[in-house]
Structure formats: C-alpha cells, structure tokens
C-alpha cells in the first residue's frame, strides 16, 4: 500500500454549523483546507477500518475536486470501500438512503444546500453517521476540536479516479464503486407511495411543474416524475444540474422560486407546482391558487399519512423544529400520538427517528421528511402530496382549506435579515436575552406576554442538552415570535424572525399572511429593536 503522511497546519475556523461546514469556495481552496476537515472527521471516528464510506454531493463548483481528495484520504485511513454517486452526484436524501441500505459506516455529503454555487460562492462538507443522519452535536464538537490541532493527514496514491463510469475498481486496497445516484432512491420512493394511483392522476390530465433549479434533483425528478409516473415531458424544468445553478440561489421559496410560483398561480396554470433545493432535501409546494407553507405541509401530510402505502399503519409521532408553527401539534393531538419540539437542524430528529418515537418530521424552512431516511427529503414530500391528491381526488387548495376548517389556521411567516454585521446581530440577541425575565405579564404592542425564554432542548433519548436555541416570546391566545441567528450563512450574520398566529375562525382564513400577522410583526420590532440594531428598514427575504 502506498499511504503517505502529509504534514499540515490547523485552520481555526472549521466549526460545523446547523448542517456541516460551509464556507466560500476560495476558503475551501486554501492549502489542505478540505483535507484537514476530512481527516478531522476520520480522526473523530472509531472502528471504520475495512468498512464502507458513501461519498457524493450536489454537483456544485469544486464538488469533483473534493470527491477525488475524499477518496484518496479514505483509502489512506484504511476504509475498505467507498460508494460514489456517478459524476459525484448524490442528493442528500439519496446519500442517506445509500448509507442505510448498504450498511455503510457513514458518508461524506458535499453540499452547501440552498446557498449559491460557483468559484466565488459556497461549498460545504458534512459527515453523516451509520444511521444515515447528520452527525449529532457530540460528534461535530469532536470534529471541530480535532481540526484545531490537526498536524497531518493520511492519503493513499489512488490516482485520478473515473467517477463517471458505473462499476467497481480496486485501488490501494480499497474498493471504489461508482453507482447510479437515482436507482436506489427511486426504488425506495416506489415502496412508499402509490405509484399506480399517481400514474392514473397524470394520465387523467393533471398537470404539474417541478423546478429542480439547476440543482441535484434534476435527474431524480426527470426519472421519477416523467419516466416512472408518466408525467408529460417538460414537467421537470431546469433539470440539468449546473456547477453554479445557473447563477441562481437554488432555494425553493417564494423569493427564489418566484417564476414557478407565478406560473402555477396564473390563470390556466398547472394544478400543482413543486421545487427542491441545491442538495435535494428541501421542498416547496404550490397548488393552483394556494401556496402551502412548510409548517402547514407537515400538518396536512400527517393528517393524511395513512393514504400513502408506506404510512398506512399510522404514525408513531411527529417532530418539528421549535420555530416551525404549531399546526402539526393539533394533528398529533387529534391522533393521540407524540409531538416533539427540537432545535433547528435535522440532526436533532435522528434520535427520535431511530428510537421509533417519531415517523414524520418537519421544519418551517421547507424541510419535511420521515423515518424512511435520516434527512429531510424534497422529492419525497412532492410524491407524498401527489399521493394525497390522487387518493382524495381534490385539489391542493381544497385539501388545505379543508384542513384549516378542521384544525384552524396557523398564520405563519419568517422574516430574514441577511448579511448583518455579526457584532450588531449578536448585540440584538444579547439585549433580548437580557430582558426575557421581565417580559411575562408585560404588554407589547397591546398584547400580553404569557412566557418568554431561550429554548433549551433536552433530548428524551440520550439525555443531552442543547441550550440557546432561539428566543421565543409567547402571547395570550397562542401567538408567538421567535428570534434566532442562522447557523448556515457564510458571510456576516442572518437574523431570523419567526411569526405565528393561530386563527380558529374559518371566516377569517383568507387574510393575506403579512396583514394577518401585522400586529405581531410590529411587536417583534418593539421587542428587539430590529431596525436600530441591524440598520435595515425591512427584511431581505420574507417567506
């Protein structure tokens, strides 16, 4: 074997955020930067000798280079095999599935998700464990600690690996297997949903538009929607993955997937629109005449879950991130099943899913998923909706308004203030934290505060505690505002303000969202002094 030990110097900034290490491409291109992080991951693991590692990414700029590095370092460290998606492509949920299906030791997912790609834009690396899920905090803390003292990495001379041809080769004592990135995932989807019913739906003239945003779900969407489900050619748009996503943000929301939204809303537009993000774990759902908030989507899917063959036996429980609206809570209550509230980030759902306590999980940030993998899953959510539409024979709008009539409506919106100077954002948060104790009982913009705290999560499975996960202020009647700083940005700080109001009265279910939340939006300003602290008159992005 030809393993070499290469001396290196630590970088101090390799702390994984909400979902792995994300930095600008030029940061990753510094000498040994990616190598250091990958070796820090391996140095924090035990018992992988001879085992298999899954490697794949969302196809963004620098993906191929880092895949070559990862293969050589895996070989140098004694992995027995790597499974690589053809062309270096694996969507995040497909990678999670492969880890589980092939009983791999873990996986490296190369992605910065919904962040822009290209030579000056973002790149990312994330480690997923043998359950297929993102490394828990304990592990990411260990990786960060190691990265601060690392002084060498191990590499085997495997040469330049052909990752474009499906098949297997032996190099430096390691098996390198290049696989079709779509096949196993598509098979999993077929096992969960009623493909025959969805095929019938398309055959009956039902029309949808799926926007892959020039990111990783292009090939998945084409194969599953058009080939397997018989949707007309052209159903998937922007389906060729590009290294820079065509210069856009592959972020499926009302701002970045605006064109799709307009098309579906237009007179004579398709019945159904959906989009996914850079790495394929997010989803946006739009019905003709109605945009479905991700929080509502989780609730509707939970209420209708038994219509899909994969969930016909019912749900064990539902989990949502703390800032996600309480719409799903009402469904859990009615079903008499467990409801869990976790910090932001999919890694916190892993234990609940592994323990069989939750079946469906969701985040307000366009993330929905289940126990079929250990990541959120964009296309899965789209197929779930198609299954529900086919089974109920109703439009998205009918299904959602029906849901509101039964459970009430949780008006919900998120206001993001992007690229704020870190110091100013931190000052806002610490000022808020400082006044939490005095808030209960007081009035803000005429509304009475019931409770106010900084969310701390006590994991019911392993007992671990995660503190400072977001400031939440709860008002009489169940309305609330939540403040937290993003853990995925790569420049400055992003302040996220989450606003929610519950409306039980059916006659008040068609107010425009921002108007329905106006009083709370003003209360958020009064509470946190957003304008003064950020120097911004209005949010950068409203979803």
Which positions lie near ligand VG1, rule CB under 6 A? 18-19, 113-114, 277, 281-282, 321, 344-346, 363, 365, 367, 486-488, 496
What stretches of 133-232 adopt beta strand conformation (E)? 152-156, 167-171, 174-179, 208-211
Query: 224-253: which residues touch Co ion (CB under 5 A)?
Result: none
Closest approach, Cβ 210 to Co ion, in A, equals 16
CA 10, 13, 16 angle in degrees (round to 5)?
A: 115
Site membership for Co ion, residue 503 (CB under 5 A): no
Taking CB atoms, the residue at the shortest distance from ligand VG1 is 113
Residue 288's closest CA among 264, 267, 305? 264
Closest approach, Cβ 500 to Co ion, in A, equals 23
Taking CB atoms, the residue at the shortest distance from Co ion is 113
65 by Cβ neighbours in 10 Å (0-12 / 13-18 / 19+) ranks as middle
Q: Which does 487 bind (CB under 5 to 8 A by kind): Co ion, ligand VG1, none?
A: ligand VG1
Q: Is there a contact between 199 and 387 (Cβ–Cβ < 8 Å)? A: no
Burial 366-399 (b: 16+ CB within 10 A, else e): bbbbbbbbbbbbbbbbbbbbbbbbbbeeebbeeb
Which residues participate in catalysis according to the annotation?
113
Instruction: Return the number of the residue (235 or 253) whose C-beta is nearest ligand VG1.
Output: 253
Site membership for Co ion, residue 58 (CB under 5 A): no
SS3 assignment, position 524: helix
Closest approach, Cβ 154 to Co ion, in A, equals 30
Q: Which does 486 bind (CB under 5 to 8 A by kind): ligand VG1, Co ion, none?
A: ligand VG1
Query: 449-478: which residues touch Co ion (CB under 5 A)?
Result: none
Q: Is there a contact between 130 and 106 (Cβ–Cβ < 8 Å)? A: yes
Owner of token pair 């491409």: 25
Instruction: Return the number of the residue (77 or 297) whose C-beta is nearest ligand VG1.
Output: 297
Applying CB under 5 A, among 121, 211, 271, 277 the residue interacting with Co ion is: 277
Closest approach, Cβ 15 to ligand VG1, in A, equals 13
Instruction: Return the number of the residue (113 or 413) whose C-beta is nearest ligand VG1.
Output: 113
Q: Which does 440 bind (CB under 5 to 8 A by kind): ligand VG1, Co ion, none?
A: none
Cα dihedral 265→266→272→273 (10° resolution)? -70
Applying CB under 5 A, among 281, 296, 363, 500 the residue interacting with Co ion is: 281
Q: Which does 230 bind (CB under 5 to 8 A by kind): Co ion, ligand VG1, none?
A: none
Applying CB under 5 A, among 211, 226, 279, 329 the residue interacting with Co ion is: 279
Closest approach, Cβ 483 to ligand VG1, in A, equals 12
Closest approach, Cβ 156 to Co ion, in A, equals 31
Q: Is there a contact between 483 and 14 (Cβ–Cβ < 8 Å)? A: no
Cβ atoms < 10 Å from Cβ of 507: 6
Q: Which does 365 bind (CB under 5 to 8 A by kind): ligand VG1, Co ion, none?
A: ligand VG1
Question: What is the per-residue DSSP string for 433-476?
Answer: HHHGGG-TT-EETTEEEEEEEE--EE-TTT--EE----EEEEEG
Instruction: Return the number of the residue (77 or 253) whose C-beta is nearest Co ion.
Output: 253
Q: Which does 35 bind (CB under 5 to 8 A by kind): Co ion, ligand VG1, none?
A: none
161: left (phi over 0), alpha (psi -120 to 50) or beta: beta
Instruction: Return the number of the residue (100 or 282) whose C-beta is nearest ligand VG1.
Output: 282
SS3 assignment, position 52: strand
The contacts of residue 269 (CB under 8 Å, 6+ apart) are: 263, 288
Closest approach, Cβ 114 to Co ion, in A, equals 5
184 by Cβ neighbours in 10 Å (0-12 / 13-18 / 19+) ranks as middle
Among the candidate windows 140-148, 204-212, 271-279, 352-360, which touches Co ion by CB under 5 A? 271-279
Instruction: Return the number of the residue (288 or 484) whose C-beta is nearest ligand VG1.
Output: 484
SS3 assignment, position 329: helix
> How many Cα atoms within 13 Å fall on the side-chain side of residue 57?
26
List the x/- string, 67-106, binding to Co ion by CB under 5 A. Answer: ----------------------------------------
Site membership for Co ion, residue 486 (CB under 5 A): no
DSSP H/E element including 97: helix 92-101
Site membership for Co ion, residue 365 (CB under 5 A): no
Cβ atoms < 10 Å from Cβ of 203: 11
Closest approach, Cβ 428 to ligand VG1, in A, equals 16
Give residues in contact with Co ion (CB under 5 A).
113, 277, 279, 281-282
């Amino acid at each position: 074997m030809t393993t070499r030990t290469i001396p290196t110097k630590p970088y101090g900034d390799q702390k994984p955020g909400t979902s792995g290490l994300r930095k600008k491409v030029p940061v990753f291109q510094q000498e040994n930067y990616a190598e250091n992080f990958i070796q820090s991951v391996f140095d924090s693991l035990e018992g992988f000798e001879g085992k298999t590692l899954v490697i794949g990414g969302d196809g963004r700029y620098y993906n191929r280079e880092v895949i070559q590095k990862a293969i050589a370092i895996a070989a140098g460290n004694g992995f027995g095999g790597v499974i690589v998606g053809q062309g270096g492509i694996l969507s995040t949920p497909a990678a999670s599935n492969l880890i589980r299906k092939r009983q791999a030791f873990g996986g490296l997912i190369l992605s910065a998700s919904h962040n822009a790609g290209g030579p000056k834009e973002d790149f990312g690396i994330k480690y997923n464990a043998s359950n297929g899920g993102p490394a828990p905090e304990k592990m990411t803390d260990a990786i960060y600690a190691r990265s601060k003292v690392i002084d060498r990495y191990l590499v085997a001379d495997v040469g330049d690996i052909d990752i474009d041809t499906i098949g297997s080769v032996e190099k430096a004592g390691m098996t390198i297997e290049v696989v079709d990135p779509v096949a196993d995932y598509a098979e999993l989807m077929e096992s969960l949903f009623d493909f025959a019913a969805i095929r019938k739906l398309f055959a009956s003239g039902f029309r949808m538009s799926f926007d892959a945003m020039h990111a990783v779900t292009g090939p998945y969407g084409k194969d599953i929607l058009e080939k397997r489900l018989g949707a007309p050619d052209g159903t998937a748009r922007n389906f060729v993955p590009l290294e820079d996503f065509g210069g856009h943000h592959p972020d499926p929301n009302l701002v970045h997937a605006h064109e799709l939204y307009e098309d579906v809303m237009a007179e004579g537009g398709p019945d159904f629109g959906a989009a996914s993000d850079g790495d394929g774990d997010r989803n946006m759902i739009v019905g003709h005449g109605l945009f479905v908030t991700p929080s509502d989507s989780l609730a509707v899917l939970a209420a209708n879950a038994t219509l899909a063959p994969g969930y016909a036996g019912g749900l064990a429980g539902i989990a949502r991130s703390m800032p996600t609206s309480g719409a799903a809570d009402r469904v859990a209550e009615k079903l008499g099943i467990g409801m869990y509230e976790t910090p932001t980030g999919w890694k916190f759902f892993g234990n609940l899913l592994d323990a069989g306590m939750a079946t469906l999980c969701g985040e307000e940030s366009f993330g929905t998923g289940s126990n079929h993998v250990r990541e959120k899953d964009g296309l899965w959510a789209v197929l779930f909706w198609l299954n529900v539409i086919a089974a109920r024979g109703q439009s998205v709008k009918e299904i959602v308004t029906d849901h509101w009539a039964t459970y009430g409506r949780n008006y919900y919106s998120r206001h993001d203030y992007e690229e704020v100077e870190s110091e100013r954002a931190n000052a806002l948060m610490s000022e808020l934290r400082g006044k939490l104790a005095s808030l209960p009982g007081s009035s803000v913009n005429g509304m009475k505060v019931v409770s106010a705290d900084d969310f701390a999560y006590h994991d019911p499975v392993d007992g671990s505690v995660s503190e400072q996960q977001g400031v939440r202020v709860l008002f009489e009647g169940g309305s609330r505002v939540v403040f937290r700083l993003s853990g995925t940005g790569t420049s400055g700080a992003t302040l996220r303000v989450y606003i929610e109001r519950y409306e039980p009265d059916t006659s008040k279910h068609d107010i425009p969202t921002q108007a329905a939340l106006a009083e709370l939006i003003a209360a958020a300003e009064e509470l946190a002094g957003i304008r003064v602290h950020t120097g911004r008159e209005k949010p950068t992005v409203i979803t």
